[in-house]
Structure 1
């Protein structure tokens, strides 16, 4: 399938983006409210709504297993697309800890409660780290896994579409210096120093080109200036992704190895907590 420059999409305010913003804002507001009222004894972990929040939150954390099971068990592969399960995985991974925090009334409680709570927070924190790494090696949050070849093709096609008038600001020559400095050869590992400074260096190049374009504004018409602004943004984003792709791919591999023991530890401590609470 031919890749076109339209494959490089800039962030837009789609319904999904609106939902993410509304969801994140609601969670932050709820956590802030709960923390402010933690001493008001509005909920009890032993009974009523507080008890139910613990059951629901724990069930959501256990339901996180559905996403990896959907990818590995053959009979589940006909149950909705993987992207839907991943969305539920992300939502449950946020709502579960939030509900359990309200169940605990933002307090520590007994020793077994503390261990279970800290294990849950460790899994939640690890999940946030994994989400950050995941976005760096995929085409968006719910897109497919990015490849060096695919991103390189997109990069070449963007460069081929640069307006002829952009030669006046030496656009192609300026970007080629950035490209050689940051993007490793196919199959080669990028140097850590270059990877760490990919974002500031690409951003600095972008602002330099915008300033150069502004200085030559009398020589360039308005459509060309707009196209240069769009192109510099796309190139900066793609260059950063290409420079960091190998490092984040390796980090994602190691994250999987670390995250699974955290999750197993959380399940064990949660079961112990439930047993102790209902036995003693």
Structure 2
């Protein structure tokens, strides 16, 4: 799939979700803003109530979307025979689409009024959606191949340049300048347990200091402007790769903790959803079947 086609598909997914929210909100606004006691007298009560034709249908379709989104993505990840069907990244994006639109439809199915055991499922669903957004952010921070496979730390390190050897071979630098540049681009392990935003800000500040220090050192040497620019580009690329390695370590740890929150909420939501469906059927509630 070309990049333009990919972007168009993502845009289509977003537009579908927005269109569903706008259309359902517009059609049922006067109904959803009423108290439960007053809704009985609304002209569209039989249509929009949770057991109504539209309300019930939204619940069924939304639930099927959630189930399809969860289990199709899990199957693609865990069943070896499916590993060659499509790119994993596209499966994840389709999973996100279904598990975003599905909860939206379920929300309108409840008519914004829910309680008892169903409320546990609903808030679990909300937690799954929120944690899914966070998980998506973490996911895109981890370097991957074009097929969506996560790169290992060793694979990322293999892309590093031996900048020390290159500088010795190509440029006539003083020992002081050479040592400063090599030390600045060294891949130093970071064991600080900072929040991600603080960590990124600290690293950005540190990198700016390194760039200024290296620029000062380069000016002390008998180099042309073109040579200085080439060395700066090498340094910037190497520091950016160091940050990628650091981010990979950090995000892999976060991803492990993220599963602890995301999966249990998803399981609670699905179990209570199945109980809700079973109880509904036992009490004789039917849709258009």
Q: Aligning the two structures, in what range does the TM-score lie when normalised by the shorter sequence?
A: 0.5 to 0.7
Asked whether the equivalents of residues 181 and 214 of structure 2 are also in contact (C-alpha less than 8 Å), the reply is: no
Q: What is residue 41 of structure 1 aligned with on the other side? A: 31
Distance 1:28 1:56, change over 3 A: closer
Count of aligned pairs: 256
Q: Which among 180, 184, 191 is matched to residue 177 of structure 1? A: 184
1:103 aligned onto 2:103: no
Moved more, 47-56 or 13-22: 13-22
Distance 1:211 1:101, change over 3 A: farther
1:269 aligned onto 2:275: no
Asked whether the equivalents of residues 123 and 259 of structure 1 are also in contact (C-alpha less than 8 Å), the reply is: yes
User: Within 2, Cα distance between the matches of 1:35 and 1:178?
Assistant: 55
1:248 aligned onto 2:251: yes
Q: Which runs of 5+ in 1 are unaligned?
A: 1-12, 185-189
User: Within 2, Cα distance between the matches of 1:34 and 1:267?
Assistant: 27
Q: What is residue 152 of structure 1 aligned with on the other side? A: 157
Larger radius of gyration: 2
What is the TM-score with the length of structure 1 in the denominator? 0.67
What is the TM-score with the length of structure 2 in the denominator? 0.65
Compute the RMSD of aligned alpha carbons.
Answer: 4.4
Q: What is residue 125 of structure 1 aligned with on the other side? A: 130
Equivalent runs, 1:72-111 vs 2, <5 Å: 72-74=78-80, 76-77=82-83, 79-105=85-111, 107-111=112-116
Q: Deviations over 1:229-263 (max 9, x none)?
A: 6962x444422221233333233233334433222
Q: What is residue 4 of structure 2 aligned with on the other side? A: 15
Asked whether the equivalents of residues 166 and 228 of structure 1 are also in contact (C-alpha less than 8 Å), the reply is: no
Q: Which runs of 5+ in 2 are unaligned?
A: 33-46
